[in-house]
Amino acid sequence: MFGLARPDAVRAGLVGGMLQVGLLVNELTVRELVSMVAALLTWLAVVVYRRDTARA
C-alpha cells in the first residue's frame, strides 16, 4: 500500500472502499462521473509523487 505496511496506510487515510454495482450511478451526469474519477486519479498521483520524493 504505497510502500507502507497495511495498518500504517489505513491510519494515514490512504485506503478506502467503494461499492460497485457494475453500472453508472444514476444520480451523476457523465461529466460529473468523469470529473470525480479524474480527481481521484490526480489525488493518487500526488500521493505516489510525495511518497517517491520522500524516499529520495
Residue 44 structural domain: 22-56
Residue 6 inside a domain? The answer is no
- pLDDT reading at 2 higher than 80: no
Residue 43 inside a domain? The answer is yes
CB 14 within 8 A of CB 5: no
The identity of residue 41, as a single letter, is L
pLDDT, one tens digit per residue, over 21-51 is 667 677 888 888 888 888 888 888 888 888 8
Q: What is the total count of domains within the chain?
A: 1
Report in angstroms the alpha-carbon separations of 16 from 31, 36, 40, 50.
Answer: 23, 15, 11, 19
Residue 16 inside a domain? The answer is no
